Structure 1
Amino acid sequence: MATQRRWTRSSAAAARATPSRRSSTPTGPVRPAGHGRERHPRVLLGSPVLIAPLHPPVPLARSLTTIDFVSGGRLLPGFGFGWSPEGYQAAGLDFSRRGARMDELLDALEPLRTEDPAQYKGVQLSIPLHN
């Protein structure tokens, strides 16, 4: 992709240690984060904690990569895996596997952000080759 990789798996792992009662979609309060780029050129842009395993990986990667690009490579997203079984049930996902799904999602985000075309094959997530 166009920007250097600033956010990493280790920063995401630190963020997932604390459960959050708030959830956000990638198009929710994160999107406006890129608009202050010229006014505050050295400020990193943190996001609300995203319950990442509940999000489809391709739209999540596209949203985060776009925000990172618009902000000049300063995105520092917050990822969590959630505390509420009801959210996972509503999404048709196994709550007991949320940690493993988070690990795979973080692994899948890397090629989605850095390769074109990209694909990923894991136990819980499978993303066919696409542009």
Structure 2
Amino acid sequence: MKYGVPLGLLHPAAWKDVAVAADELGFESVWLPEHLVFATDLSTAAYPGTSEPGIKPGTPLFDAPAYLCWLAACTSRVRLGTAVHLLALRHPFISARAFATLDVVSSGRAVCGVGAGWYRGEWDAVGLGFADRGARLDEVIEVTRRLWSEPAVAHSGRFYSFAEVAFEPKPVQHRLPILCGGESDAALRRAARLCDGWISMPHTLESIRPQLDRLAALGGTGSVTAHAYELGAPEEVASWAALGVDRLIVRPWSRGRDAVARLESFADAYGLERPARL
């Protein structure tokens, strides 16, 4: 089992220290979420399934691939992922360039977690149709794959058209992984058919089973990353693996100031192999 650390659940002032600790303690990956912008009008900000706003307009927002580039310079082996990046809020060139850059400067450690998003306000702010976000994301994934792998690319689609362009440098990884987040039918289909795997919402062993059954029914055979913030004893890990989960994003701390110490305790309890120091 691989273990990831959700940096987005911590104050940004702690991100570097926690990423460095994860790198040194044998965690496989660190993850950042993202939003592009928050509107001060909260009428479109209710989180799905609730009546409460899912955002606070004054929250500091960072460009996730750019921040991960900085963390790449502070670490040596831990993978650097987004959970999730709103790929379709930008022209394909922009995000394709950002993740290719991250992969190059990190020597092949980028993971591109994507999602269609739930928050209408930022789509309205940039003038893109919220109802089309899923179809737009599908097209951007297709274009991004080609930019990362083909010597020259021309495209004519529903949302984007451009004459032939060159795109260099390519990512270091032969296939930079794109993982899809979300639990709607459309998101699971996207994970199964267009992406290299799926990223779950926070789940327990019991609550994730129906989602994995749905994913399997759609033909999903890629990597499965589960947010498992309530992970119990180490013996529970085998049950996650039996379900097909190959990466658990864990939060062993309850207070942010204890994050590094709790990561150390988790690494010891779960038998993480600490890399040799250079």
Shift of 1:62: 1.0
Shift of 1:120: 2.0
Query: Which of 14, 23, 40 is 2:76 aligned to?
Result: 40
Per mean C-alpha deviation after superposition, the further-off stretch among 116-125 and 28-37 is 28-37
Query: Which of 108, 121, 144 is 1:109 aligned to?
Result: 144
Change (3 A) 1:74 1:87: same
Higher Rg of the two aligned structures: 2
Shift of 1:24: 4.3
Question: Equivalent residue of 1:128, what SS?
Answer: strand
Q: Output one character per residue of 1:32-54: Cα deviation in whole Å (capped at 9) or x when no partner.
A: 4245368422x211125221111
Greater than 3 Å deviation, 4+ residue runs: 34-39
Query: Which of 82, 85, 99 is 2:134 aligned to?
Result: 99
Per mean C-alpha deviation after superposition, the further-off stretch among 100-109 and 43-52 is 43-52
Change (3 A) 1:88 1:38: closer
Q: Which residue of 1 aligns with 2:155?
A: 120
Q: Which residue of 1 aligns with 2:105?
A: 70
Q: Give the conservation status (yes or no) of the 8 Å contact 2:36–2:122.
A: no
Shift of 1:88: 1.6
Q: Which residue of 2 aligns with 1:23?
A: 35
Per mean C-alpha deviation after superposition, the further-off stretch among 98-107 and 81-90 is 81-90
Unmatched runs of 5 consecutive residues or more in structure 2: 1-32, 38-61, 167-278
Query: Which fold has the larger relative contact order, with Cα–Cα distance below 8 Å and residues 6 or more apart in sequence?
Result: 1
What is the percent sequence identity of the aligned residues? 29
Unmatched runs of 5 consecutive residues or more in structure 1: 1-20
- Give the aligned residue type for 1:116: P
Change (3 A) 1:71 1:98: same
Q: Give the conservation status (yes or no) of the 8 Å contact 1:111–1:120.
A: no
Q: Give the conservation status (yes or no) of the 8 Å contact 1:120–1:126.
A: yes
Q: Give the conservation status (yes or no) of the 8 Å contact 2:34–2:64.
A: no
Q: Which residue of 1 aligns with 2:114?
A: 79
Q: Output one character per residue of 1:58-86: Cα deviation in whole Å (capped at 9) or x when no partner.
A: 12111111111111111012211111222
Shift of 1:124: 1.6
Change (3 A) 1:71 1:91: same
Question: Equivalent residue of 1:45, what SS?
Answer: strand
Separation in structure 2 between the aligned mates of residue 91 and residue 38 of structure 1, nearest angstrom: 33
Change (3 A) 1:58 1:70: same
TM-score where L is the length of structure 2: 0.35
Tell whether 2:92 aligns with 1:57.
yes
* TM-align CA RMSD: 2.4
- Give the aligned residue type for 2:156: K
Change (3 A) 1:34 1:88: closer
